[in-house]
Amino acid sequence: MLIIHDLKTQTNSRISRRDSNRNPSWRAKPGLIVMKFGEQLRSSVIREYQWYYIDYDGLKADLKRPSGSVVVPVAADDSTRSSKLSRREWTEEDESRFVSKLETELDKVHTKQQVKAMEISRRIAVSEREVRDVVNRLNERGPGDDGPSEEEFMLLEEDLSDIIADVHDLAKFVQLNYTGFYKIIKKHDKMTGWHLKPVFDTRLKAKPFYKENYDASVVKLSKLYDLVRTRGNPVKGDSAAGGSQGSFIRHTTKYWVHPDNVTELKLIILKHLPVLVFNASKEFEAADSAITSIYYDNPEKWDLYEGRLKKTEGAEAIRLRWYGGMQNETIFVERKTHREDWTGEKSVKARFSLKEKNVNAYLRGELLPAAIFEKARKEGKKSEKAIAEDERLAREIQWSVLKKGYKPVCRSFYHRTAFQLPADARVRISLDTELTMIREDNLDGTTRSGDNWRRTDIGIDYPFSQLPPGDIVRFPYAILEVKLQTQLGQEPPEWVRSLIASHLVEAVPKFSKFIHGVACLFPDRINLLPYWMPQMDVDIRKPVSHDFGIKRSEHSATTSVSDDEEDYDSDEEQPLVSGANGQSSPQARNGRAQIMASDVEDQTVDRPTNDDVYLYDSEDEDDDDRLAEARRVGGWTYCQTRLVTTANAIGRGTWTVLKALIPRPRSTQVPRNARLETLLGTGEIQQKRFKAPKGKKIYVPVRVEPKVYFAAERTFLGWLEYSIYIGTIAVTLLNFSTKQQSKASFIAAGAFTLLAIVSLCYAVGIYLYRSNAIRTRKAARYYDKWGPSVLCAALFVAVALNFAFEGNDRRMW
């Protein structure tokens, strides 16, 4: 992936190296700067970490110039190079030297990450004591005593903001270095033929600087920041309640978040909403945020899958969910029911709790719902009405499972971080990370769940490396879900609008974990795919569209530096000045200052190291690198590569000349309105047509309301009325003409009759086509492009014929 910065418009765009290789004539236009990973690494350096980044350029130079290579002069007519290397084969001595340097770089990065992580932990602990001290003085002050001043709270808020920025910087530092290590290893294996990746995976496990989990820090910072922001008076209430779920209308949207942006997103949200913690007295553990669901369906018909995919009225999803580890004995049986908006009802999620030891008996029909709620009735902790509703739900789910043969098919696992004010659900934001879908069925002869309601050979030990690849799908993104109260035309907060319009998220309406899991885990049984499946191979990272992100206060701002400025060719390019969030400051608006907007070059995060596939591993060598590698091999390989690169250069030059000489129409630039600029930014909008895999169909959601049926019927009746009018004219001409005019009248009446019949048949055909398309929710064209025009032309011909024959019979001409 190449980063392209337009010096004229000051916008960023990207192009895949694969796409540029498919089109060898592609060249950056004048005024564009194209960055590779090495350039991106140098331009993203933060001053505090400037001496601790991986020496990517040095390692790359070692690969291109083994020890023992000599420099020899080239012919005088070579205008592009002044020297070339006479290379020899990569030896064991070269490998040892390279591995030693790589180990040194790994030690450097790992040590810095460990030291900074401990420093952040100590700073959080100190800030926690200071915040507690100020809050205690506020709560214990007497009637005439002065409490903490506003200045104290402001200083605490600045200190916490600085810690938040430190966490953000450390996360970016780790991501960039992790990407650098894997890219240089890939380059090593490709250029030398020595396979270092399996060995280095072991070294990374021994020094896992990239596995730092910031969730505990986020929870602590959220609690402290909420205390300071509210000046010691945080909103209190039942965290489990979140307000009455039926008391308001809630609008929900879903987004994908690239792993590179997850930590930054959490830090941004916690400045506005606290992390929702259900047990504040307990120290945070990773298992506290784990959520696991078992989805059920009929593995023969997949009616629940197709119903949820097509969003048909009344479509259901049945799942069993628990929170935390496998030892949790409380299982929630849930049913989600989809309702169309035109019904006036809202989609419903209902559930009841059940002990794990009773789940199998309940699903087999051996344990009746009345027995489940017998204890609850005796205790009297819930109202009779609530118990009756739960019992009715239990009966309906049990009947569906037994009658329709629902079996466990798919498990979803993820860690959820929820942001919400306790007992206030006006704004609720949840972020699901490490999303994993796992097979639960026994369809292929492999016993997974057996007769049990779930498989027991796995727990919450992500990344579930013990499972075979066919049993698991690790989703590459986090899922952000924003739920807003929308009653009475209430507008969402400004910071929420800025968040969902930022480069950090990618909107994916109606995304479903159940649908995605079934579509990926059962490719031989599922032919209808969700609309987002073809987009899974598209990098969702985007350049920064507006000034939004983590910022430091002015007194703690840091600057980025680049100690490799000699590569810059333009006098206008200046050193970058950057905040801790990696965004350029006002002092660096020229040249490359905007290029560093985001880390968009092949960055990855912690993935299971036994996988051979990385996220967006799309680095292809340019012509120089290919020639360097081929020169080392020598022989026919070098000659062939030389011919290919020369042909590419000639083709690019020829295409550039032809494009300049051949006149062609140019489109008129229409300025983008403010709304589109808010959603899409000012950069170029790229469109791409996706095709379904062979034998599969992509289902695109189509919203159908009753008025659509009525509109189709009204259109049909309009055509029918028109046909009747034309038929009436034909009958009148035929039955009321005189004997002298019978020939002309008969011909005119025949033309009108034919027109009426064609119009009637066309109307019936169009109505049947549209009705079927609406009923099957097909993305068809519902406007009539040719019908009215053809009908008007035919009517004109019929009237003209009638006029001509009548004039001829009356001897007018």
Residues annotated as catalytic are 513
Half-sphere exposure of 623 (CA within 13 A, CB side): 15
CB < 8 Å & 24+ apart, contacts of 160-163: 160/127, 160/221, 160/224, 160/225, 160/228, 161/271, 161/552, 161/553, 162/552, 162/553, 162/556, 163/120, 163/123, 163/124, 163/127, 163/221
- How far apart are the C-alpha atoms of 638 and 641, rounded to whole Å? 5
Cβ atoms < 10 Å from Cβ of 436:
21
- How far apart are the C-alpha atoms of 732 and 726, rounded to whole Å? 10
Cα angle, residue 539 at apex, residues 536 and 542 outer, rounded to 5°: 135
- For tokens 């270095």, what's the residue? 177
Token output for 745:
């009248």
Look up residue 357 and give its amino acid.
K
User: Max alpha carbon distance in the chain (Å)?
Assistant: 117
Token output for 454:
């779930």
- How far apart are the C-alpha atoms of 624 and 642, rounded to whole Å? 10
Burial of 394: CB neighbours in 10 Å, binned 0-12, 13-18, 19+: buried
Q: CA-CA-CA-CA torsion for 784, 790, 796, 798, nearest 10 degrees? A: -120
Look up residue 366 and give its amino acid.
E
Q: Check residue 592 and give left, alpha or beta (phi > 0: left; psi -120 to 50: alpha).
A: alpha
Entry field: residues in the chain: 813
The one-character DSSP state at 584 is: B
Contact assessment for residue 630 and residue 637, using Cβ atoms and an 8 Å cutoff: yes
Got the DSSP string for 400-464?
Answer: HHHHHT-EEEEEEEEEEEEEEETTEEEEEEEEEEEEEEEE---TTS--SSTTSSS--S--S-TT-
Contact assessment for residue 540 and residue 527, using Cβ atoms and an 8 Å cutoff: no
Burial of 272: CB neighbours in 10 Å, binned 0-12, 13-18, 19+: middle
3-state DSSP percent of the chain in helix, strand and coil, to 5: 50, 15, 40
